[in-house]
């Protein structure tokens, strides 16, 4: 968003320079000229400032909305279990497997 805000600010500076340079050239004294801003040029410069501030606030609002959407989708997401079984079940099944293997070996010895 910083890059986009800088682009908006650079556009603001360029358009402001063009608007300021569009003032009318008025002769105050012989061989003495000055630039005078007309009411229309002053209004467009004011409007340029308002639009630039609105654009910067809008860009920040988009940033906050995007961040809020990402955080809320993460926070309210249903928990996905990485393993199908809990740790206790896994330990119990391994113990049962070891017990059955030992029981099978004992049964072979006894049955012979």
Burial class of 11 by CB neighbour count within 10 A (0 to 12, 13 to 18, 19+): middle
Residues 61, 10 contacting (CB under 8 angstroms): no
Q: How confident is the model at residue 91 (pLDDT cuts 50, 70, 90)?
A: confident
Residues 23, 44 contacting (CB under 8 angstroms): no
What is the token pair recorded at 57? 């606030």
Q: How confident is the model at residue 9 (pLDDT cuts 50, 70, 90)?
A: very high
Res. 83: pLDDT tops 60: no
pLDDT in tens, 19-77: 988 888 888 888 888 888 888 888 999 999 999 999 999 999 999 999 999 999 888 87
């Amino acid at each position: 968003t910083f890059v986009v805000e800088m682009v908006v600010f650079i556009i603001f500076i360029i358009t402001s320079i063009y608007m300021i340079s569009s003032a009318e050239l008025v002769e105050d004294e012989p061989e003495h000229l000055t630039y005078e801003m007309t009411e229309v040029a002053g209004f467009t410069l004011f409007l340029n400032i308002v639009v630039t501030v609105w654009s910067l606030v809008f860009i920040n609002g988009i940033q906050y909305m995007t961040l809020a959407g990402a955080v809320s989708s993460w926070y309210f997401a249903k928990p996905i279990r990485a393993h199908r079984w809990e740790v206790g079940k896994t330990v119990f099944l391994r113990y049962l497997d070891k017990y059955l293997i030992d029981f099978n070996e004992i049964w072979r010895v006894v049955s012979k």
